[in-house]
């Protein structure tokens, strides 16, 4: 791929964010060990399936060729849409066909896979086969995000993290720091223009910029909204990114109260705080660009990169290319990073470990028990977790090893990203992945139709959340979780 470099971003940031690294850019320590390890797998081809994201494309385009160069083992990585990836992986594991030797496991689905014994215990497998343990692979080097892929009873790894990111508050520095806009905002609101720390402040900024865009005939709105009326992305935005900022955690389901969802039974899915959170989010959707009602996580990122919004909640996996790749983004050099707006008490709860302020997302590659090439796959999984490959890979807005934060290129890009990597390192503990529910998909699919009905206006917020809580409890009773 050829890139026409233009002023406004460094060549380093552009090349890395655009995914221009090649296998030749990576030097592997102990190359002789890898070459020797590969000799026993002559003719083997590993097959994997994953969602098409910047980190996954790096695996397919850079790491797989490098691994084959070293070991002779071919790796075919199928990158596809999220729904196709999930469908293909789970059908293969359910049928036991062994098509895939590696499957991408989202942090929020791993518990369902573990409950069905779909995954190989990687920690145990490497202990039982020390000859397959790579010299420079260290499980202890993973960040705390790896804990999302450990077995509850044995603490062993069942997936090796390959991407990890927090959902952050991005804002346009060129707009927020413009003296004329600052003066207009101060005159209208009586407040200084700065990144919001509360929902009230965020709303004020959103209203101002939506009106400002209209008054000045600009293609500009006050906020993003991941508000698709028929895709689970909207359900996730509310439950995993918005509700926690109001103090509603783990979807409002309380395992300590017989997995209650309703307030009546000890849950919070239809609590006053939950209803306030959804009402606020819907009001922000009405100040977002018209495409927001059909926006998933992908479209929210492209909307921000197109310069159509002043602020928004955006998955961190998109931070690098939005901030640094001017072949894809119109806001290069003008991206600020902040924590999401919060209600009183939420930050204190997160700091104490009693709550969290937003979503820590990501995924891992797991080894299906149905794989016919488990030993060769163990080699490739370790290869992806080597410190040597992480510096280039981190440019796709993901860090999974603690050692990567000190890599020179990562430090340089961190400055261009407004300190995103520093935030991930220092404040990542304030965010949390999805709750440890093996019934994840069942509850989502059972409640989503009512949620979409709320988004389209066919059902009111209060009525809809009451109904969702009832449906969730009914589904959990059917599944045997509520006794």
Confidence category of residue 315, pLDDT binned at 50, 70, 90: very high
Other beta carbons within 10 Å of 173: 16
Does the structure show a pLDDT above 90 at 124? yes
Distance CA 374, CA 380 (A): 10
Residue 12 pLDDT: 40
Q: What is the chain's mean pLDDT, rounded?
A: 92
Distance CA 413, CA 424 (A): 13
In this structure, which topology does domain 166-352 adopt according to CATH?
Answer: D-Maltodextrin-Binding Protein; domain 2 (3.40.190)
Query: In whole angstroms, how large is the CA radius of gyration of the chain?
Result: 23
Residue 418 pLDDT: 86
In this structure, which topology does domain 29-164+361-420 adopt according to CATH?
Answer: D-Maltodextrin-Binding Protein; domain 2 (3.40.190)
Q: Are 323 and 416 in contact (CB under 8 A)?
A: yes
Per DSSP, the three-state class of 68 is helix
Distance CA 274, CA 239 (A): 9
Q: Are 103 and 91 in contact (CB under 8 A)?
A: no
Tell the residue number behind the tokens 């998955």, with chain if given. Answer: 315
Confidence category of residue 355, pLDDT binned at 50, 70, 90: very high
In this prediction, residues 63-91 reach a mean pLDDT of 95
Distance CA 70, CA 79 (A): 23
Least reliable range by pLDDT among 30-44, 45-59, 113-127: 45-59
User: Where in the chain are all domains bearing CATH 3.40.190.10?
Assistant: 29-164+361-420, 166-352
Confidence category of residue 396, pLDDT binned at 50, 70, 90: confident
Other beta carbons within 10 Å of 36: 11
In this prediction, residues 298-325 reach a mean pLDDT of 93
CA dihedral 270, 273, 276, 281 (to 10 degrees): -90
Nearest to 312 by CA among 168, 462, 162: 168
């Amino acid at each position: 791929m050829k890139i026409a470099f233009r002023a406004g971003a460094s060549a380093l940031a552009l090349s890395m964010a655009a995914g221009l690294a090649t296998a030749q850019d990576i030097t592997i320590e102990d190359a002789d060990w890898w070459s020797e390890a590969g000799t026993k797998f002559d003719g083997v081809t590993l097959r994997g399936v994953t969602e098409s994201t910047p980190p996954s494309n790096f695996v397919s385009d850079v790491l797989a060729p490098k691994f084959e160069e070293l070991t002779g083992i071919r790796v075919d990585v199928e990158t596809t849409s999220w729904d196709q990836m999930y469908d293909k992986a789970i059908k293969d594991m359910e049928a036991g066909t062994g098509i895939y030797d590696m499957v991408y496991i989202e942090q929020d689905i791993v518990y369902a896979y573990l409950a069905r014994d779909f995954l190989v215990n990687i920690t145990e497998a490497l202990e039982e086969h020390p000859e397959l343990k790579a010299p420079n692979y260290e499980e202890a080097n993973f960040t705390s995000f790896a804990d999302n892929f450990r077995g509850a009873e044995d603490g062993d790894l069942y997936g090796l993290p390959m991407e990890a990111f927090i959902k952050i508050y991005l804002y346009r520095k060129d707009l927020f720091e413009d003296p004329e806009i600052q003066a207009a905002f101060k005159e209208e609101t009586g407040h200084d223009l700065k990144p919001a720390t509360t929902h009230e402040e965020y709303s004020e900024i959103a209203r101002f910029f939506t009106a400002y865009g209209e008054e000045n005939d600009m293609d500009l709105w006050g906020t993003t909204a991941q508000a698709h009326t028929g895709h689970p992305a909207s359900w996730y935005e509310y439950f995993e990114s918005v509700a926690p900022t109001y103090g509603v955690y783990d979807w409002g389901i309380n395992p300590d109260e017989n997995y209650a969802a309703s307030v009546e039974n000890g849950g919070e899915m239809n609590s006053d705080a939950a209803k306030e959170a959804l009402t606020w989010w819907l009001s922000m959707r009405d100040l977002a660009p018209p495409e927001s009602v059909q926006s998933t996580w992908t479209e929210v990122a492209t909307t921000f990169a197109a310069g159509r919004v002043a602020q928004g909640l955006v998955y961190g996996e998109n931070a690098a290319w939005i901030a640094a790749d001017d072949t894809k983004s119109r806001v290069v050099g003008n991206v600020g990073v902040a924590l999401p707006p919060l209600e009183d008490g939420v930050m204190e709860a997160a700091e104490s470990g009693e709550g969290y302020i937003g979503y820590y997302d990501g995924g891992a590659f797991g080894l299906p028990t149905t794989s016919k090439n488990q030993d060769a796959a163990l080699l490739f999984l370790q290869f992806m977790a080597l410190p040597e490959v992480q510096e280039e890979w981190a440019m796709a807005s993901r860090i999974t090893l603690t050692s990567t934060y000190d890599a020179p290129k990562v430090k340089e890009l961190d400055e261009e990203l407004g300190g995103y990597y520093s935030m991930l390192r220092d404040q990542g503990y304030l965010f949390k992945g999805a709750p440890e529910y093996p019934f994840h998909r069942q509850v989502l699919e059972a409640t989503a139709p009512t949620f979409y009905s709320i988004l389209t206006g066919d059902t009111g917020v209060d009525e809809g959340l009451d109904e969702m809580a009832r449906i969730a409890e009914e589904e959990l009773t059917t599944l045997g979780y509520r006794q």
